[in-house]
């Protein structure tokens, strides 16, 4: 059995805790490797390495740090195919979808190549007589990222690339479900010229996470995962004086207005609802047709499309989606479908019993579609994270607007309409962090920022874009007077710029 260890101080390190977790191949259902789960002592060793390496890295001029990012881009492009196969072999998403996972991470590295410009501070000449004021952005030191299973390339890169470019050292604690791609990313960064100890990958579970939270040398934690853990990490990080940005779960609605192009809306719902088996934080899991006639037209077109989804092994590039990540995840999703039926929703398409011929032990589910879901039902209130779409019929636009606005989650939302006025009103008033207008998955581009509201995001700065630079640096502001502006004597009132 292959064993996956850690990557600390620029080299592969075996686990010493004696604790391991299984890494599955979701396509076949087999255990393909075991990953070491770090102890507190192993995490501490990584922090010490990072601490020792960070000052010299921060002292390199930002152009040199940018060149490491540029070289990394060349290297990762050179092995994108192999990396996508590795990713899908542990996650289960199809290889073309895995390439997208890598590409959306790569785009944040591209953004980080602009670090010399992004780190420029502010300067005011002559803020008072003979006084200049300027600010600079300095790295925090050692920072950490704790990431989920569903984007094992993209989210680690969203976290580590801006942090490293700013001059920090990084401890990455990826998901124990698919740890191989994060390790390969760290190896590629080393090959690109990143000094040993600046990017460390420590595999583990709650024990490693708690060790990160307790470690006094770690100055910031970026988390992405489920909301319950996000809230826990946000509170614990604050207790130990760390900066924290913690992104959680989601329930993304797509409003279908009566004037929407129904063909486009259905295509969007099929791709955004069932792509990657629904295991995306920006997946559409609730469709909200406005008016009974719109709902009937939508259901008439959706049902045959859901019934004809092509589910295949992750290496089948023509499949719409592959298996779920683990048997446990599959059972959880099936449990939600049972609950939806018990609570009175109409199950228009039932994907629970789907079996893929030749891969009977893989973690596959057919697409499921619920109609007449109501806001009091568990399947509406909670995140299912599987290939299940719920249709909630709204009587009018105001009711449709209120649904995502009052939901506990506020990650993404979309409106499909041909009416600019409705779209404009919706984008202004909806209480959700990322909005799509005729775009079902509005994941912002790398130089804008990504972040949900309410229980989808704890903290006040988003991921990537300019917010990432703010999160991974602290501002120092200098007020200076030359040569000897205090010769007029001591001042006892607070200085002001009169």
Is 43 a binding residue for ligand NAD by CB under 6 A? The answer is no
Size of the site for ligand NAD (CB under 6 A): 26
- Pick 57 or 472: Cβ nearer ligand NAD: 472
Piece of the chain touching ligand NAD by CB under 6 A; list 14-22, 86-94, 117-125, 202-210: 202-210
Hey, what are 190's tokens? 């080393």
CB under 6 A: which stretch of 192-200, 222-230, 270-278, 438-446 binds ligand NAD?
222-230
Q: What contacts 24+ positions apart, CB below 8 Å, involve 58-66? A: 58/138, 58/139, 58/167, 58/168, 60/167, 61/116, 62/115, 62/116, 62/119, 62/165, 62/167, 63/116, 65/115, 65/164, 65/165, 65/167, 66/112, 66/113, 66/114, 66/115, 66/116, 66/165
Task: Determine contact, residues 73/232, Cβ cutoff 8 Å.
Answer: no
**Closest residue to ligand NAD using C-beta atoms:** 225
Q: Is the dihedral of CA 97, 98, 101, 106 positive or negative?
A: negative
CB of 479 to ligand NAD, least distance (A): 38
Identify the residue among 35, 95, 144, 209 touching ligand NAD (CB under 6 A).
209
CA proximity to 152, closest of 60, 280, 240, 36: 280
Per rule CB under 6 A, is residue 424 in the interface with ligand NAD? no
> Are residues 46 and 173 in contact, defined by beta-carbon separation less than 8 angstroms?
no
Decide: is 180 part of the binding site for ligand NAD (CB under 6 A): no
Cβ closer to ligand NAD: 26 or 452?
452
CB of 308 to ligand NAD, least distance (A): 27
What residues from 277 to 316 belong to the interface with ligand NAD (CB under 6 A)?
281
- Specify the residue, 113 or 150, whose C-beta has the smaller distance to ligand NAD: 150
* Catalytic entry in 160, 166, 246, 281: 281
Asked if the peptide bond before residue 35 counts as cis, ω within 30 degrees of 0, the response is no
Instruction: Check residue 456 for interaction with ligand NAD (CB under 6 A).
Output: yes
Q: Could you tell me which stretch among 72-80, 106-114, 243-251, 349-357 binds ligand NAD (CB under 6 A)?
A: 243-251
The stretch among 3-11, 17-25, 119-127, 220-228 that binds ligand NAD (CB under 6 A) is 220-228
> Binding marks (x or -) toward ligand NAD, 391..420, rule CB under 6 A?
--------------------x---------
Single out the residue of 226, 276, 285, 417 in contact with ligand NAD (rule: CB under 6 A): 226
Side-chain half-sphere CA neighbours of 32 within 13 A: 20
Shortest distance, position 454 Cβ to ligand NAD, whole Å: 11
Pick the binder of ligand NAD from 72, 170, 336, 385 (CB under 6 A).
385
CA dihedral 88, 93, 97, 103 (to 10 degrees): -50
The partner residues of 413 in beta bridges, in order of sequence, read 253, 435
- Assess whether 281 carries a catalytic annotation: yes
Closest CA to 390 of 269, 250, 279, 228: 269
Interface residues toward ligand NAD, by CB under 6 A: 146-151, 173, 175-176, 205-206, 209, 224-226, 229, 247-250, 281, 383, 385, 411, 452, 456
Give me the active site residues, please.
281
């Amino acid at each position: 059995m292959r064993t996956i260890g850690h990557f600390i101080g620029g080299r592969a390190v075996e686990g010493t805790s004696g604790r391991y977790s299984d890494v599955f191949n979701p396509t076949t259902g087999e255990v393909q490797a075991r990953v070491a789960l770090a102890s507190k002592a192993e995490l501490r060793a990584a922090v010490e390495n990072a601490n020792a390496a960070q000052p010299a890295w921060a002292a390199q001029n930002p152009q040199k740090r940018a060149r490491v990012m540029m070289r990394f881009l060349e290297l990762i492009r050179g092995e994108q195919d192999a990396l996508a196969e590795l990713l899908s072999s542990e996650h289960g998403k199809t290889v073309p979808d895995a390439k997208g996972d890598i590409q959306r991470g790569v785009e944040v590295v591209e953004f980080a190549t602009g670090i010399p410009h992004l780190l420029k501070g502010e300067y005011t000449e002559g803020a008072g007589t003979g006084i200049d004021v300027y600010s600079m952005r300095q790295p925090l030191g050692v920072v950490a990222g704790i990431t989920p299973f569903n984007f094992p390339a993209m989210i680690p890169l969203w976290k580590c690339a801006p942090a490293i470019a700013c001059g920090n050292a990084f401890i990455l604690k990826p998901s124990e479900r698919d740890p191989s791609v994060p390790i390969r990313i760290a190896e590629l960064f080393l090959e690109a010229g990143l000094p040993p100890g600046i990017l460390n990958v420590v595999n583990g579970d709650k024990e490693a996470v708690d060790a990160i939270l307790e470690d006094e040398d770690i100055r910031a934690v970026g988390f992405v995962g489920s909301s319950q853990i996000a809230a826990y990490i946000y509170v614990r990080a604050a207790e130990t004086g760390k900066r924290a940005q913690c992104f959680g779960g989601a329930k993304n609605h797509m409003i279908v207005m009566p004037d929407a192009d129904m063909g486009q809306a259905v295509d969007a719902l099929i791709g955004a609802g069932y792509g990657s088996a629904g295991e995306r934080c920006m997946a559409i899991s609730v469709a909200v047709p406005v008016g009974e006639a719109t709902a009937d037209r939508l259901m008439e077109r959706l049902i045959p499309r859901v019934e004809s989804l092509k589910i295949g092994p992750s290496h089948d590039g023509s499949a719409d989606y592959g298996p779920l990540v683990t048997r446990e995840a599959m059972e959880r999703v099936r449990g939600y479908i049972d609950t939806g039926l018990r609570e009175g929703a109409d199950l228009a398409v039932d994907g629970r019993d789907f079996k893929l011929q030749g891969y009977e032990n893989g973690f596959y589910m057919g697409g499921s579609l619920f109609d007449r879901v109501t806001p009091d039902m568990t399947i509406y209130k909670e995140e299912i994270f599987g290939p299940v779409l719920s249709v909630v019929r709204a009587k009018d636009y105001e009711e449709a607007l209120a649904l995502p606005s009052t939901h506990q989650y506020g990650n993404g939302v979309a409106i499909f309409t041909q009416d600019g006025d409705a779209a404009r009103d919706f984008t202004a008033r909806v209480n959700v962090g990322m909005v799509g207008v005729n775009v079902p998955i509005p994941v912002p581009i790398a130089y804008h920022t990504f972040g949900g509201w309410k229980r989808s995001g704890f903290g006040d700065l988003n991921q990537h874009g300019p917010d990432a630079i703010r999160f991974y640096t602290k501002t120092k502001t200098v007020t200076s007077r030359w040569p000897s502006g205090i010769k007029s004597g001591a001042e006892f009132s607070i200085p002001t710029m009169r």
